[in-house]
Structure 1
Amino acid sequence: MTDLKTPAIVVNFKAYREVDGEGSLKLAKICESVSKDSGVTIAVCPPMVELGTVARAVDIPVFSQNADPHAPGSSTGWITASMIKSTGAIGTLINHSEHRFENNVISESVELAKADDLITMVCAESVKKAVSVSAYHPDFIAIEPPELIGGDISVTTANPLIIEDTVNSVKSVNKKISVLCGAGVKTGEDVAKAIELGSSGVLLASGVVKSKDPKATLYDLIKHI
């Protein structure tokens, strides 16, 4: 899998206990099954220790949760773009709200990832941040107000204007950048509203990972696409 077609559902596994060990592959297989049955793109971001296992086992887009601004070599403990590429993953998140970088680090991480032909998805907490990172020309920007992450109120309800403003502002810098949204997204209505507001899909985590029935949750998320 070498592309991320939109609209897309991107499921970040984070580091929840539910995806420890074999849990990551089990959830990724569920995502693959729903994606193939529905025709809707569902991408997954498993923990780094399971990235290669998942990427080699499923035929849906697989992303790393992070890429560090380090080239191959003496970089103990850091995650290089070439490592990610070698697992079979097609892209990476950068600057997630739980793994923030300064802008100069974001820029270098995007550049190194692109050099290894990885799709880059940079997270931003505000319209201002989204505009600033647009200058580095990532493939995707995911707008996620931090106060709503992990909560029960979707950004599409709590702050729909931030989605429209981000889409318009980012497109004014580079029309080729696609915008995703996240934070509190849990239902098909949330996804439909996000797309209506101009986003190319959603980035979410707990709504799927911690669901008692991830398959049913995924079908609900995509029912209006």
Structure 2
Amino acid sequence: MFVLVNLKTYPCDPIAIAEAVRDVNDTTDARLAVAPQAAHIERVAETGVETWAQHVDPIEYGSNTGHTLAETAADAGAVGTLINHSERRLKLADIDGALRAAERSDLETIVCANNPTQVGAAAALEPDAVAVEPPELIGTGTPVSQADPDIVRDAVEAAETVDPDVAVLCGAGISTGDDVVSASDLGTEGVLLASGVAKADDPTAALESLVEPL
């Protein structure tokens, strides 16, 4: 299972969490990674943890003040990027453009989607993975795998119908090891989570509890 910890813009110590993710990763067969804010990518990558960008824009080198260039994220140490997170929505054409920008920079990609229909549309753009995340469950502590498991099953089916090479992940409310196991049982290959680790008093303990059942 792939566990990607999104730090969003939470007031946490990105280096401390990166080191926790790195250390727990060494104790499990699961694959762990962290997605810090763009300004922290280089410092986080220097810890040795697998580092992802939270977003890249559908742009090339040029006059793009305030945007995130995929090449810059890669140069800073990112190996992948989220695209179209529910807190950073893009139009379909821009999702495609961001995917092409990520490809230029050899960044692995996860396109987020609200529901199985959107998962199918995203899979048609040939990302490495899609993640189903109902926005109403994000940050609630109620995992989609329990609140509405059919969404996850249908998302897996939708992606497989379009392109069986596109992996499916799920997010929204993931906070325990049981949530991760449930996600796996429903056919996903990983999870996205944020507050369960980024807001934890002890990120290492939170991570260990996540991967212990795997």
Q: TM-score range by the shorter chain?
A: over 0.9
Deviation, 1:38, is 2.1
Q: Supply the distance in 2 between the matched residues of 1:155 and 1:173 (Cα, whole angstroms).
A: 22
* 2:35 alignment partner AA: C
Give 2:18's aligned residue: 28
Q: Secondary structure at the residue paired with 1:57?
A: coil
Q: Supply the distance in 2 between the matched residues of 1:103 and 1:71 (Cα, whole angstroms).
A: 18
Give 1:130's aligned residue: 119
Q: Supply the distance in 1 between the matched residues of 2:213 and 2:47 (Cα, whole angstroms).
A: 28
Q: Contact conserved, 2:5 with 2:192, CA < 8 A, in 1?
A: yes
Give 1:4's aligned residue: none
* 1:64 alignment partner AA: A
Give 2:145's aligned residue: 156
Q: Supply the distance in 2 between the matched residues of 1:83 and 1:63 (Cα, whole angstroms).
A: 12
Deviation, 1:219, is 0.9
Q: Contact conserved, 1:56 with 1:87, CA < 8 A, in 2?
A: no
Q: Contact conserved, 2:123 with 2:129, CA < 8 A, in 1?
A: no
Residue 214 of structure 1 pairs with residue 214 of structure 2: no
Give 2:2's aligned residue: 8
Q: Supply the distance in 2 between the matched residues of 1:82 and 1:32 (Cα, whole angstroms).
A: 24
Deviation, 1:76, is 1.2
Give 2:46's aligned residue: 56
* Structure 2 gap segments, 5+ residues each: none
TM-score w.r.t. the length of structure 2 is: 0.98
Deviations 1:23-82 (A, max 9, x none): 111110000000012232111001111011111221x32100000011012111111111
- Work out the percentage of aligned pairs sharing the same amino acid: 39
Q: Supply the distance in 2 between the matched residues of 1:152 and 1:63 (Cα, whole angstroms).
A: 23
Q: Supply the distance in 2 between the matched residues of 1:121 and 1:152 (Cα, whole angstroms).
A: 22
Deviations 1:98-118 (A, max 9, x none): 000010100110011112111
* 1:182 alignment partner AA: G
Give 1:107's aligned residue: 96
Give 2:164's aligned residue: 175
Q: Supply the distance in 1 between the matched residues of 2:169 and 2:158 (Cα, whole angstroms).
A: 13
Q: Secondary structure at the residue paired with 1:53?
A: helix
* 1:35 alignment partner AA: N
Q: Which contiguous aligned blocks of 4+ residues in structure 1 show a shift greater than 3 angstroms?
A: none
Q: Secondary structure at the residue paired with 2:26?
A: helix
RMSD: 0.9
Q: Supply the distance in 1 between the matched residues of 2:196 and 2:27 (Cα, whole angstroms).
A: 20
Give 2:107's aligned residue: 118
* 1:78 alignment partner AA: H
Give 1:67's aligned residue: 56
Residue 197 of structure 1 pairs with residue 186 of structure 2: yes
* Structure 1 gap segments, 5+ residues each: 1-6
The alignment of Structure 1 onto Structure 2 pairs a total of residues equal to: 214
Q: Contact conserved, 1:124 with 1:141, CA < 8 A, in 2?
A: yes
Residue 41 of structure 1 pairs with residue 31 of structure 2: yes
